[in-house]
Amino acid sequence: MSDFIVINKKINPFKKKILVSGDKSISIRWVLFSSLSNGISTAKNLLISEDVIAAINAIKKLGIKVKINNGVCKIFGKGMNGYNYKKNLTINAQNSGTLGRLLAGLLINTPYKIKIIGDKSLSSRDFKRISEPLSKFGAKFSLKKEKYLPLTIQGGSNLKAINYKEKRGSAQCKSSVIFGGMRSNGITKITAKKSRNHTEVLCKYLKLPIKINNKKNYDEIKVNKVKFIKPLKNYNIPSDISSSAFFIVLTALSNNSELIIKNVNVNSSRIGIITILKKMGIKIKFQNLRTYKGEKISDIKVKSPKFIKPVNCPSSLNSGAIDEFLIIFLVAAKANGISYFKKLSELNQKESPRLKWGKYILEKMGIKTITTEDSIKIFGNPGLKVNKNITIKNYLKDHRVFMTSVIAALVFGGNWKLHDKSSINTSFPNFLKIIDQIKK
């Protein structure tokens, strides 16, 4: 079957209400925490995408029963020490950095060797960033070229708490060490640059022995050994702001359009895109804001603006928008001036080197950019119209490169051939169906 789509028609003005699928970060964490809990956890609106299915397959391999029926996922947790598996287990984290890195923390007490592998994209990503701190607990790791998957964990039995400074603003590194701390004797002390805090929110909701002290630019986290986790029952996973981002930008770049996205997770550590787009003059409102099991949820209303302002994006917003920069760059392409995004080296550590891909897509559309190793200047053109053939094929099959290109094709025109349609299955299998709903 062909794995590309062709788009050669701009989208008409629309006024719609949509619901996007469950949050990927929360879904993976719900699966992992449930696998460690004492009893049956249940969730609705769990994201059923390849990354989350990889998490479910991982805990199944560790001896945990999982059932999915009528949109409800049930996980039969057996407690902190309930994993049961044979020697020489291999777990495939596929495309998911979150799964691979969090699992490594969770498995530091394994009595047998466990190998973690991944797809081509994940195998090109840095795993030393977690093996280094995790080995200080007393577990042994071996990695390809000391940095890459396959990674083998030989757990320790007498694990001791560590002190760890997380300087990148990586929630995956922070969470991996939190899991390590939950398995170790003593108090693990983490000083972490701000990043998404879903792991901490779940720990607090579950009343686990973890203390968090939020400072202005960083967080202090103290983790004690965890003996018991109650099941996460009746958990309704909120919708993903990173998936919503594509439609927020579709509306921002369309004419006379309006969109409401229901039930979106608007955790303050995830809404960098909203702050950045508001600075650029996009009209965005939160409606019906509420708190659910420690997470903030809201409906998001977006209207297309009359014109778009350029932004000099403060780097303090980077971590809260880290998965959204490709799509934000499209907004900068239509701004009335030069936008500047800096200190973005982490963007080249994602499923593909996204700073480079951002530049590539913009230049194909005829937008001038100046990039360094970690920054991009985008010379916006409010009258931008694309009148040519553009082909996008990302050799690492990055889902966000594909979805960003679809939005570009729908708002700027031209004749686009977009490869690797199936990459959406990683995070957002419904993406093209929702595009069709909006078009109708």
The least distance separating ligand S3P from the CB of residue 380, rounded to whole angstroms, comes to 25
- Contact track, ligand S3P, 334-373, x by CB under 6 A: ------------x---------------------------
Nearest Cα neighbor of 310 from 387, 368, 254, 356 is 368
Give the Cα separation of 10 and 16 in Å (integer).
Answer: 17
The least distance separating ligand S3P from the CB of residue 169, rounded to whole angstroms, comes to 7
Pairing relationship of beta strands 415-419 and 389-392 according to DSSP bridges: parallel
172 sits near ligand S3P (criterion: CB under 6 A): yes
Residues 61-80 that bind ligand S3P (CB under 6 A): none
Task: Answer yes or no: 219 catalytic.
Answer: no
Residues 86-145 that bind ligand S3P (CB under 6 A): 97-98
323 sits near ligand S3P (criterion: CB under 6 A): yes
Q: Which of 21, 25, 37, 352 binds ligand S3P (CB under 6 A)?
A: 25
51 sits near ligand S3P (criterion: CB under 6 A): no
Q: Which of 36, 300, 322, 403 binds ligand S3P (CB under 6 A)?
A: 322
The least distance separating ligand S3P from the CB of residue 357, rounded to whole angstroms, comes to 14
Q: In sequence order, what E strands does 100-204 have?
A: 114-117, 140-144, 148-154, 163-166, 188-193
196 sits near ligand S3P (criterion: CB under 6 A): yes
The least distance separating ligand S3P from the CB of residue 316, rounded to whole angstroms, comes to 15
Give the Cα separation of 140 and 153 in Å (integer).
Answer: 6
Helix or strand run (H / E) with residue 295: strand 295-303
Stretch that binds ligand S3P, among 85-93, 116-124, 165-173, 252-260 (CB under 6 A): 165-173
Stretch that binds ligand S3P, among 2-10, 157-165, 168-176, 418-426 (CB under 6 A): 168-176
Q: Which of 41, 49, 131, 170 binds ligand S3P (CB under 6 A)?
A: 170
Which residue of the set 119, 219, 299, 323 is catalytic?
A: 323
Task: Provide the token pair at 319.
Answer: 């971590």
404 sits near ligand S3P (criterion: CB under 6 A): no
34 sits near ligand S3P (criterion: CB under 6 A): no
In terms of phi and psi (left: phi > 0; alpha: psi -120 to 50; beta: otherwise), the region of 94 is left
Residue nearest to ligand S3P (CB): 25
Task: Provide the token pair at 344.
Answer: 């973005």
Phi, psi of 394 (to 5 degrees): -90, 120
Q: Which is nearer to ligand S3P, 198 or 334 (CB)?
A: 198
Q: Which is nearer to ligand S3P, 324 or 420 (CB)?
A: 324
Neighbours of 86 (CB within 10 A): 8
Instruction: Cis check for the bond before 150: say yes or no (omega within 30 of 0).
Output: yes
27 sits near ligand S3P (criterion: CB under 6 A): no
Whether the CA torsion 356, 362, 366, 369 is positive or negative: it is negative
Q: Which is nearer to ligand S3P, 129 or 359 (CB)?
A: 129
DSSP 3-state assignment of 362? Answer: helix
Give the HSE-up count for residue 226: Cα atoms under 13 Å, Cβ half-sphere. 27
Exposure string (b/e) for 363-389, b if CB count within 10 Å is 16 or more? ebbbbebebeeebbbbbbbeebebeee
Catalytic site positions: 323
Residues at the contact surface with ligand S3P, assessed by CB under 6 A = 25, 97-98, 170-172, 175, 195-196, 322-323, 346
